Chains A and B, each alone.
Chain A
């Protein structure tokens, strides 16, 4: 939706922003399939009122001016250019997380999708991560509810449209917490990947599931682990099952390391209020060259690895390595097209090979009670996985529901079957939802 401008003088004066450290990867690797787009959906109890959404989007965009940007390309780096554009409000199509025409002039880098009783926001990772997008969605919902005549007294944890914009919301958190002379992290071996053939284009299919949180919590607590630790363990255990099945068929299986990429919201670890990308990964793994693991063994390993991996010193170590590359004078002076080719090649050769799966956890959604009463559920659709990983997984918890979505670009749903079957066999009720 084009039209009304965003009246934020200081933003206009600044004119442009550097991409944050994580965002620098995406313009080089994104494509029609590997879109780098994720979606957060909120299902309301009543049908959406279009005019209220439109007004809420206009109001909210003024509060988040750093999202009203488009991608510009310079001689050495891509950058974000303030464009005073409002995001488009569109209707959903069959496949979620469709690519943005990010290199188009003045093209917004997020969109609002409306259908029946649900509002979705789709962000390209160049702009922000799940944490930043979710803050935006909360603010949008708050404004929408107020415009539709609902009174919301408690506003704790929500960025209100009238609240002042702070400089910290625009900062590059990675650069702020970069430490010189930090030893680089240990190099990772290549991980094993699901052996399935890819779907025909457009490849992405989403399997949605709803899991009873109380029962999951009860079982996780009985094993003395958190929900995330339990779900990551199920992920690794399901991968191990498939690995062993495949080993029966193909005798020569080489890579026996199963590794999951679990993004960590650094805003919870480091004192930053940034609304741009600020997350890193923890990489729990099991090495099947050492033997087959029982589920209890995996639980122990995952618990230990997630806790040590999310240790602040480890995070700063990874963060400093990433920012260190960006700061290298040689890399900085390379022209953009060479840099893009190099980033793309390195990603294809190394980055996409290092994990067997991805699990994003948006966490437990907490909203004022008046707002929660108007909401049915939340869902997160992960960014389409690369052709090595093939399946990614995203979860979000709201009240007593955990929504777990699988983004799959392969022809097999064997992994999802193993995953959900393990949960039901453990006594956790799972409902597979219809793709609307």
Chain B
């Protein structure tokens, strides 16, 4: 008579592992338990979420590729060549790759963020390439996209490391946004006028600063303990 030391149930002699928890009992070859991923009730919820994400991914794949085919054929029939459909097809493909990254690498931000960055940069580069010569990608597209991703990454990291997700996070997000606006204006000015003069981004920054300060004041002095999810719940 053998017992599983995890579940405490009595098992048949011929069983090498507990069918309930997968714990290996015997000294014989380790065989796979019957239901590898269904030991606990919550395993099924995780399995269901995974399946739902896969279904959404498959459906989005069908819709995206149908869209690409339709755009390409319509363009070919009307213009006898690929013109506007190149932009449409590239956008659809890039969107689907982004969705794939989000759905299939569930919350693995170290894969999602660089993956999204590469996809969007490639899309912008291709847009520039479709109307040669390549000119705006290196001047504006590349630096602004990188600045946007750095900003978003800072907010994501803050969200994850913050012990308390309150108005303080909202304030820091506003500050990051004003920083992003300044960087964007620098590159736009440099590209368009070959000279940098901070104007609109400074207005944005000085407008955002008091809002951020008010939010920080509310968080640290008045409503400490107010969580964003409870405050904004619908």
What's the nearest-Cβ distance from chain A to residue B38, in Å? 6
Chain-B contact segment, one of A93-101, A271-279, A320-328, A415-423: A93-101
B7 / chain A contacts, CB cutoff of 8 Å:
91, 114-116
Contact of B45 among A32, A89, A122 (CB under 8 A): A32
What's the nearest-Cβ distance from chain B to residue A390, in Å? 15
Contact of B8 among A107, A116, A122 (CB under 8 A): A116
Say if the beta carbon of A1 comes within 8 Å of chain B: yes
A47 touching B44, Cβ below 8 Å: no
A114 touching B45, Cβ below 8 Å: no
In the complex, A237 Cα to B73 Cα: how many Å?
76
B35 touching A50, Cβ below 8 Å: no
Known pairs A47-B8, A100-B44, A101-B44; A88 contacts B38 (CB<8 A): yes
B35 / chain A contacts, CB cutoff of 8 Å:
1, 88
Binary per-residue interface labels of chain B (42-56) against chain A in the complex, 1 for a CB within 8 Å, 0 otherwise: 111101100100000
A91 touching B40, Cβ below 8 Å: yes
B10 touching A122, Cβ below 8 Å: no
What's the nearest-Cβ distance from chain B to residue A298, in Å? 35
B39 touching A90, Cβ below 8 Å: yes
In the complex, A222 Cα to B148 Cα: how many Å?
75
B40 touching A117, Cβ below 8 Å: no
B20 touching A50, Cβ below 8 Å: yes
A99 / chain B contacts, CB cutoff of 8 Å:
41-42, 45
Say if the beta carbon of B6 comes within 8 Å of chain A: yes
B214 / chain A contacts, CB cutoff of 8 Å:
none
A54 / chain B contacts, CB cutoff of 8 Å:
19
In the complex, A113 Cα to B40 Cα: how many Å?
9
Interface residues of A in 8-59 (CB under 8 A from B): 32, 47-51, 53-54
Say if the beta carbon of A259 comes within 8 Å of chain B: no
B6 touching A91, Cβ below 8 Å: yes
B29 / chain A contacts, CB cutoff of 8 Å:
none
Closest Cβ neighbor of B46 among chain A residues: A101
Most buried by A among B20, B41, B43, B44: B41
A187 / chain B contacts, CB cutoff of 8 Å:
none
In the complex, A101 Cα to B34 Cα: how many Å?
20
Say if the beta carbon of B21 comes within 8 Å of chain A: yes
Contact of B9 among A101, A103, A116, A122 (CB under 8 A): A116
A98 touching B9, Cβ below 8 Å: no
A47 touching B9, Cβ below 8 Å: yes
Closest Cβ neighbor of B4 among chain A residues: A50
B41 touching A115, Cβ below 8 Å: no
Q: How many residues of B contact A (CB 8 A)?
A: 26
Closest Cβ neighbor of A46 among chain B residues: B10
B3 / chain A contacts, CB cutoff of 8 Å:
47
Known pairs A104-B48, A114-B7, A117-B8; A91 contacts B21 (CB<8 A): yes
Known pairs A89-B20, A90-B38; A104 contacts B10 (CB<8 A): no
Binary per-residue interface labels of chain B (1-24) against chain A in the complex, 1 for a CB within 8 Å, 0 otherwise: 001001111111001001111000
A47 touching B41, Cβ below 8 Å: no
Say if the beta carbon of A388 comes within 8 Å of chain B: no
Contact of A50 among B9, B40, B42, B45 (CB under 8 A): B9
A103 / chain B contacts, CB cutoff of 8 Å:
48
Say if the beta carbon of A63 comes within 8 Å of chain B: no
Say if the beta carbon of A111 comes within 8 Å of chain B: yes
What's the nearest-Cβ distance from chain A to residue B141, in Å? 41
In the complex, A89 Cα to B21 Cα: how many Å?
10
What's the nearest-Cβ distance from chain B to residue A407, in Å? 16
B40 / chain A contacts, CB cutoff of 8 Å:
90-91, 93, 98
Interface residues of B in 31-80 (CB under 8 A from A): 34-35, 38-45, 47-48, 51
In the complex, A113 Cα to B48 Cα: how many Å?
20
B39 / chain A contacts, CB cutoff of 8 Å:
90-91
A51 touching B12, Cβ below 8 Å: yes
Closest Cβ neighbor of A54 among chain B residues: B19
B9 touching A107, Cβ below 8 Å: no
Most buried by A among B9, B34, B48: B9
In the complex, A435 Cα to B198 Cα: how many Å?
64
Contact of B42 among A53, A88, A98, A117 (CB under 8 A): A98
In the complex, A122 Cα to B40 Cα: how many Å?
12
B12 / chain A contacts, CB cutoff of 8 Å:
50-51
A115 / chain B contacts, CB cutoff of 8 Å:
7-9, 20
Contact of A93 among B8, B34, B41, B51 (CB under 8 A): B41
B44 touching A49, Cβ below 8 Å: no
What's the nearest-Cβ distance from chain B to residue A228, in Å? 30
In the complex, A116 Cα to B21 Cα: how many Å?
12
Instruction: List chain B positions with a Cβ less than 8 A from chain A.
Output: 3, 6-12, 15, 18-21, 34-35, 38-45, 47-48, 51
The 7 closest A-B pairs by CB, nearest first: A116-B8, A101-B48, A98-B41, A91-B20, A104-B48, A93-B40, A49-B10
What are some 22 contacts across the A-B interface (CB < 8 A)?
Answer: A1-B34, A47-B9, A48-B10, A49-B9, A50-B9, A50-B11, A53-B9, A88-B35, A88-B38, A88-B44, A91-B6, A91-B7, A91-B20, A98-B40, A98-B42, A99-B45, A100-B41, A104-B44, A113-B41, A115-B7, A116-B7, A116-B8
